[in-house]
Amino acid sequence: MDAQRRAGLGLALGLWAGAGRAAAPQRLTVAAYPKLDAIVRAAVPAWTARHPGVEVEVISREMNDHHTAMITALSTGSHLPDLMALEVGYVGRFAQGRGLFDLRQAPCQAERLRERFVPYTWGQASNRRGELVALPSDIGPGTLLYRQDLLARAGLKAEDLNGSWAGYVAAGREIRRQTGAYLLAHARDMKDILIRTGVQDGEGLYFSQDNRVLVNTPRFQRAFELARQVRAEGLDAKVYNWSSDWTEGFRRGLIATQMIGAWLVGFMGSWLAPKTRGLWRAAQLPEGAFAAYGGSFYALPAKGDPARRALAWDFMQDLTLNKTLLLDAFQTHDIFPALVDTFEDPFFDEPVAFLGGQRARHLWREAARRITPVAVHRQDAFADEVINTELDKVLTRGKDIASALGDAERLLQTRAAR
């Protein structure tokens, strides 16, 4: 623990003790989800050794159950943990309310930590009031994963895939013709990446800083057009991410590429398609695009017990600033750290066995540094559902793109006004 943290924690606990409160709380509660729960538990022994008499209880739930429980706890002010993990999409939902503690305030004063994290994550953790409501722990740099063996059979190279979006689609035609494999799992994947590119600094995916709806714009029009082209040419397998057909597509070599966060490589190697080890490679996204895909944060509830806030903040700093802990999580769980202090570690130079020995972490590190900050909004999850529904109408019913985006815009304008 650095001198500043020791002094701040000691002062805070001393003041509370002087006010007649217990000098050291006996239990600190942390709510998390897999795989963050494992990282929290790994951090506990060293942290509690520095805080004798304090026990850390880790409450672990599956991703959706965890966030449902946090929504309920924040809205009712009951059963609040001292510290909670949040997926980036939920940070946006919670940030605009008053449920999360502003980390710029004492005892945290976290604004001083800005330069230690990947720049775009700071915007994700801040709201329109300028409050900082969370600290990032891990990120998901977008990447293009592709089957090297299928490209070779089609007479193609990686440059044919990621030079441009037009080139990516053209390569898909050749892959389909020569190998029978689909270019990608679902045309929606095209949309998911394209709407994340070209976002203006400080704006969100779906809403501007002044709450304007951004879906009826050239960014979304191009995403819908390319997704429709992929579907019309029979280049997508029409299977959704995380479905059994998606998994089988990877295992049987029926899906040639996947655009998603770099974290998928760990899942592929451990349980999605471990027998395809060595067949995959990674590249940057087409046309010089850099996009974020997922990430995790830690936050303090605003109505949490003030007598434990300094301890919770101290533990949060371990989870987000402890270079050794974060690198261990990267090596063990393939969780890419948000802390830039880790970026020069030799682990980034090591070959990735699942990717045929490629030093892919160099690509992901570059992507992380070049991703544009994208503001989060409390209605992002709802907007994502609306856009996916309208895209499905375009792909399966032939709905006109202008009408689809216009309908989405009107619905989101109504929701944003609430």
* Listed range (133-147, 198-212, 272-286) with the worst mean pLDDT: 198-212
pLDDT in tens, 106-122: 999 999 999 999 999 99
Rounded Cα distance, 341 and 364, in Å: 15
Cis bond before residue 107 (omega within 30° of 0):
yes
Return the residue matching tokens 């990032």.
Answer: 136
Query: What is the model's pLDDT at position 151?
Result: 98
* Partners of 192 in the β-ladder: none
Q: Identify the CA nearest to 56 among candidates 83, 21, 95, 22.
A: 83
Per the CB < 8 A criterion, the answer to whether 242 and 216 are in contact is: no
Query: What is the model's pLDDT at position 209?
Result: 82
**Mean pLDDT of the chain, nearest integer:** 92
Rounded Cα distance, 319 and 333, in Å: 15
pLDDT in tens, 172-208: 999 999 999 999 999 999 999 899 888 887 688 999 8
Here the tokens at position 236 are 């997508």
Phi, psi of 40 (to 5 degrees): -60, -45
Rounded Cα distance, 358 and 280, in Å: 9
| Contacts of the segment 392-395: beta carbons below 8 A, 24+ positions apart | 394/224, 394/227, 394/228, 395/187, 395/227, 395/228, 395/231
Q: How confident is the model at residue 18 (pLDDT cuts 50, 70, 90)?
A: very low
Residues 6+ apart with CB under 8 A from 334: 262, 263, 265, 266, 267, 269
Per the CB < 8 A criterion, the answer to whether 107 and 14 are in contact is: no
pLDDT in tens, 281-308: 999 999 999 999 889 999 999 999 999 9
* Averaged pLDDT for residues 388-396: 98
- Has residue 274 got a pLDDT over 70? yes
**Domains, the chain:** 3-139+294-347 (3.40.190.10), 141-292+351-416 (3.40.190.10)
Q: How confident is the model at residue 11 (pLDDT cuts 50, 70, 90)?
A: very low
* Averaged pLDDT for residues 261-270: 94
Q: How confident is the model at residue 57 (pLDDT cuts 50, 70, 90)?
A: very high
Question: Residue 357 — left, alpha, or beta (φ > 0 → left; ψ -120 to 50 → alpha)?
Answer: left
Q: How confident is the model at residue 31 (pLDDT cuts 50, 70, 90)?
A: very high
* Averaged pLDDT for residues 255-280: 96
- Name the percent of the chain lying above pLDDT 70: 94
- Has residue 7 got a pLDDT over 60? no
- Strand 257-261 relative to strand 135-147, pairing: antiparallel
